[in-house]
Amino acid sequence: MSGLVDSHCHIPLLSDEMEVDSILDEAKNNNIIHMLCVAVDLEGSPEIIALAKQYEMVSASVGVHPNTQHENGLVVDDITSLGSNDNVVAIGETGLDYFRSEGDLEWQRDQFRTHITAAKELKKPLIIHSREAKVDVIQILKEEKADKVGGVMHCFVDDLETAKAAIDLDFLISFSGIVTFKNAKPLQEVARQISLKNMLIETDSPYLAPTPLRGKVNQPAYVRYVAEFLAELKEETLENIALNTTKNYEEKFNKINNL
Ligand SMILES: [Zn+2]
Ligand SMILES: [Zn+2]
């Protein structure tokens, strides 16, 4: 059986609950062979880079979440200086969040553009966070020519039209535990219609534990529930889900050692 990749997790946020070694052991015991640990602010990025350096099964990203508002925004150099590290395989998470945002939306859009510029400079793919902002996200990706690097629409919850627009710009569509929720019928329909060639799976742990563990603290091991759910939904074998999503991850982000 091919191994699974958790394309989006936050180990530092989870390590209050669990030791890093047990997070990774639990993942290995559930056939997870790799995980991309995603930054939400610049201050936390060195810790994530250190994790990726220490553990072969972890890769790192560098970026600032749209809800992490700083008084002074980042400039491109802030991202490229950390992002040039060999253990960093992606830039993000970046994007737009109009749902949780209390702050300045123009600030978010400006920072999003800055991340895209940095990613193009580094030639590394982007991790996009989009919430209640699908039109602006796609428009900015187009305006800034983000298709030069592509990346992933993480924790995808938008409609099929948005998914197709993102795929056209060379972005993969990543499904989290949300797709397993009972009330996620429209999203399940989107997942049914998207080709396995364009899909990734993720936990976004410690958030969003999939059914049947909804409400619990999530961890990378639980990405197998997302994979199992998608297999049933798409009437595919679990092997096919694993094979395709892992290959997609490798082609877009990085070579997984010992695969
Ligand atoms: Zn996110
Ligand atoms: Zn995240």
For the beta sheet containing 171-175, the strands, ordered from the edge strand earlier in sequence to the opposite edge, are: 4-9, 32-37, 58-62, 88-97, 126-131, 151-153, 171-175, 199-201
Q: How many domains are there within the chain?
A: 1
For 251, counting Cβ atoms within 10 Å of its Cβ (0-12 exposed, 13-18 middle, 19+ buried), the class is exposed
CA of 93 to the centre of ligand 2 (A): 7
CA of 131 to the centre of ligand 1 (A): 8
φ and ψ at residue 201, rounded to 5 degrees: -125, 155
User: Per the domain annotation, does 78 fall within a domain?
Assistant: yes
User: Per the domain annotation, does 23 fall within a domain?
Assistant: yes
Are 97 and 124 a contacting pair, CB within 8 Å?
Answer: no
User: Per the domain annotation, does 187 fall within a domain?
Assistant: yes
For 173-210, the pLDDT digits (tens) are 999 999 999 999 999 999 999 999 999 999 999 999 99
For 12-61, the pLDDT digits (tens) are 999 888 999 999 999 999 999 999 999 999 999 999 999 999 999 999 99
User: Per the domain annotation, does 48 fall within a domain?
Assistant: yes
**Domain ranges, residue 96:** 4-252
Report the run of H or E that residue 96 belongs to, with start and end.
Answer: strand 88-97
User: Per the domain annotation, does 259 fall within a domain?
Assistant: no
Q: Which ligand is nearest to the CA of 204?
A: 2
User: Per the domain annotation, does 202 fall within a domain?
Assistant: yes
Burial 127-137 (b: 16+ CB within 10 A, else e): bbbbbebbebb
pTM strictly above 0.85:
yes
User: Per the domain annotation, does 257 fall within a domain?
Assistant: no
CATH code for the domain in which residue 194 is found: 3.20.20.140
